[in-house]
């Protein structure tokens, strides 16, 4: 699968393994999925989707101070973007925007990147409700997992999901993640300490790649050559 490390929009960004990068494309029922670094100009679409999708997103996201509209209004994006960019510059995070047919559609992030003898990160994601069930998150997880084990040089990825979050459990299952355990009262989500199921995958499980596996299962394809 195409995994292209590129200069990025800001020219002078310090380089870390696998960052910045553009990943994809993969074609799924919802459209053509690509991943690229989040941009400051994503703010308008980011805010439009997140304000509209409050009910769809809030019950799965960590509790935070302030109202949903304060945290997801247009003005909330620049500080979030600066903080993601700072973490990315320090090599602690790979914050991708998900685009579908070239339009911003969500985010997928490799966070808490630890190197040395651990070489691990967590993966987190959300996708616009307009595209729900269209295979976008599964394609994004497969692309980012391949990238983590190849260009980014990581060995293990972890994801934690509330047992009630059926779509997300399904995403990780389709993408090839393994269930490893249950974390009791793990994370403060939507105002309370919530149990989470722990999923993981390691580089040894990669085979021909997670995206290739989705293609072989008929869940995604490469675009037709032009």
Ligand X SMILES: CC(C)(COP(=O)(O)OP(=O)(O)OC[C@H]1O[C@@H](n2cnc3c(N)ncnc32)[C@H](O)[C@@H]1OP(=O)(O)O)[C@@H](O)C(=O)NCCC(=O)NCCS
Under the rule (CB under 6 A), what is the footprint of ligand X?
56-57, 60, 125-127, 131-138, 161, 165-168, 170-171
The least CB distance from residue 167 to ligand X, in Å, is: 4
Residue (83 or 166) nearer to ligand X, CB: 166
Q: Which residues pair with 153 in a beta bridge?
A: none
- CA dist., res. 88 & res. 20, Å (int): 8
Q: Are 197 and 179 in contact (CB under 8 A)?
A: yes
The least CB distance from residue 26 to ligand X, in Å, is: 11
Residue-wise over 143-158: b if at least 16 C-beta within 10 A, else e? bbbbbbbbbbebebbb
Query: Looking only at Cα atoms, what is the longest distance across the chain?
Result: 51
Whole-number Cα distances in Å, 192 to 57, 141, 156, 218: 15, 27, 28, 39
Alpha helices by DSSP H, the chain: 43-52, 54-58, 68-72, 77-89, 136-149, 166-175, 210-216
Residue (16 or 123) nearer to ligand X, CB: 123
- CA dist., res. 95 & res. 88, Å (int): 7
Residue (32 or 115) nearer to ligand X, CB: 32
The least CB distance from residue 204 to ligand X, in Å, is: 24
The least CB distance from residue 78 to ligand X, in Å, is: 22
Residue (171 or 215) nearer to ligand X, CB: 171
What would the two tokens of residue 103 be? 């339009």
Residue (114 or 190) nearer to ligand X, CB: 190
Q: What is the DSSP letter of 109?
A: E
What would the two tokens of residue 145 be? 């997992």
The least CB distance from residue 86 to ligand X, in Å, is: 23
Residue (59 or 115) nearer to ligand X, CB: 59
The least CB distance from residue 13 to ligand X, in Å, is: 27
């Amino acid at each position: 699968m195409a995994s292209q490390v590129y200069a990025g929009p800001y020219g002078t960004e310090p380089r870390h393994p696998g960052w910045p990068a553009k990943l994809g494309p993969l074609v799924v029922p919802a459209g053509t999925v690509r991943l690229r670094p989040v941009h400051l100009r994503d703010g308008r679409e980011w805010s439009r989707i997140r304000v509209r999708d409050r009910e769809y997103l809030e019950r799965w996201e960590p509790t935070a101070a302030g109202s949903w509209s304060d945290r997801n209004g247009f003005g909330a994006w620049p500080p979030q973007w600066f903080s993601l960019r700072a973490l990315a510059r320090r090599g602690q995070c790979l914050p991708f925007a998900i685009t579908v047919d070239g339009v911003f559609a969500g985010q997928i992030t490799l966070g808490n990147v630890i190197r040395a003898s651990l070489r691990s990160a967590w993966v987190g994601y959300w996708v616009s409700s307009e595209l729900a069930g269209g295979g976008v998150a599964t394609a994004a997880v497969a692309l980012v997992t391949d990238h983590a084990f190849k260009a980014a040089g990581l060995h293990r990825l972890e994801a934690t999901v509330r047992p009630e979050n059926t779509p997300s459990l399904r995403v990780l299952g389709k993408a090839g993640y393994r269930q490893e355990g249950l974390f009791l009262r793990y994370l403060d989500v939507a105002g309370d300490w919530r149990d989470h199921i722990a999923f993981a995958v390691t580089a040894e499980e990669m085979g021909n790649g997670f995206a290739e596996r989705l293609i072989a299962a008929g869940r995604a394809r490469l675009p037709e050559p032009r």
